[in-house]
Structure 1
Amino acid sequence: MAPFDLTQDLEFRRLAFSWLDSKSARGSRSLSRIEINEFKDHVPQARHRLFNQEGIWKPADLVGTLSVTSGLASSRHNPYIDRITSDGLVEYAFTDAPTKQSHNEGLRLAEKYDLPIIYFRAVQRSLYDAYFPVRVRGIDENRRVALLDLASGMTSSSRADIDFGAEIAGVKV
């Protein structure tokens, strides 16, 4: 593995979080795919886009994953359903694609180096709620999930309205 620059990585993440904060009106509104993609075109220091469709996005020159993106839970084409644990963590599934195992490694590295990431949660087709900074608080290798802590970076103005309408400790709510 080539040496990496953790300082440069964290500076890029701070730039992304600041831009998302202003663009999403401090987390109070959802962003369209088009708006999210404006980051790379409208921020001079942006060398990467913020996400890669649905899934795990780790640009090559960053130490770990930059963002994870959920698909719509109601979509019949979505094989990955995020769940909330009884501890309030989001279970985000690893990719099963054999050619994209480096994406899963990006989540492991984000946990190892305690890197803040972005969680884009689909709320409608091409419309996302952005949660940031999010921390990877664990990897369950047996279940092939990363445990995301959405509350770790929460401030008084952070988005706090996550509602999976899903399972909490195995119980449908």
Structure 2
Amino acid sequence: MTGNALDDMAFRESVFAWLRVRMLTDEGFTRQQLSEFEFNGQQHRLVGTQTGIWRVKQYSPAAISILTAYSPDDTKRPYDDSVGDDGMLRYKWRGSDPLFPDNVWLRTAMELQLPLVWFTGFGFVPGTKTQLFRPEFPVWLVAEEPHLQQFVVAVE
């Protein structure tokens, strides 16, 4: 592995370890809490403020996380992430352009066989509209279905 690949894997493994520890006491995480991860003395976001696909450019050309928003009425979610007929999870592209940067980050994670975190919205902080997310990790993107504008996700 190159130095960058080693840094990337060290970053990912540190993210997974941090989440495991936090999950001992926290059932879910807000976007704010997911911006409090520290690595090599610097704070990093694990999710974007407005996007479901995120990468930390200092460490990788590939996405570190994907996110599915919560909606009490599933028909109002911005993307139809779902389970396919084969039982495998599907994660939708951002928009319809296969070359949109977010989609390229996902494709890069798939090509490099890098593990990601999938944050799934499951509710709100009581009395607010602040979403709570539950992490699942590691997950891998194992195929792309361009005709359906989505990736196939394998869960460990």
* TM-score scaled by length of structure 1: 0.73
Q: Deviation of residue 76 (structure 1)?
A: 6.0
Asked if the contact 2:55–2:65 (Cα under 8 Å) also holds between the matched residues in 1, the reply is yes
Unaligned 5+ runs, structure 1: 153-173
Shift of 1:127: 0.3
* 1:7/1:67 CA distance change after superposition, 3 Å: same
Counterpart for residue 67 of structure 1: 65
Query: Could you tell me the TM-score, scaled by structure 2's length?
Result: 0.81
- 2:143 pairs with one of 138, 152, 159: 138
**Within the alignment, does 1:17 sit opposite 2:16 as a pair?**
yes
**Distance (whole Å) between structure 1 residues aligned to residue 54 and residue 83 of structure 2:** 21
Q: In 1, are the aligned partners of 2:93 and 2:151 still within 8 Å (CA)?
A: yes
Q: What letter corresponds to residue 69 of structure 2 in structure 1? A: G
SS in 1 for 2:37: helix
Report how far residue 89 of structure 1 moved.
1.7
Q: 2:104 aligns to what?
A: 105
Aligned identity (percent) is 23
Q: Which moved more, 1:100-109 or 1:75-84?
A: 75-84
In 1, distance between residues paired with 2:107 and 2:54?
Answer: 13
**What is the aligned length?**
145
Q: Is the 8 A contact 1:117 1:132 kept in 2?
A: yes
Correspondence for 2:133: 128
Q: C-alpha displacement at 1:56, in angstroms? A: 0.6
Deviation >3 Å, runs of 4+: 43-47
Matches within 5 A, 1:150-165: 150=155, 152=156
Where is the strand percentage greater, Structure 1 or Structure 2?
Answer: 2
Q: 2:154 aligns with which of 143, 149, 172?
A: 149
Q: Is the 8 A contact 1:58 1:66 kept in 2?
A: yes
Alignment-derived partner of residue 39 in structure 1: 37
- Give the superposed CA RMSD: 2.4
Report the Cα offset of residue 93 of structure 1.
0.5
Which among 52, 55, 60 is matched to residue 52 of structure 2?
Answer: 55
Unaligned runs of 5+ in 2: 125-130
- Compute the displacement of 1:29 (Å): 2.2
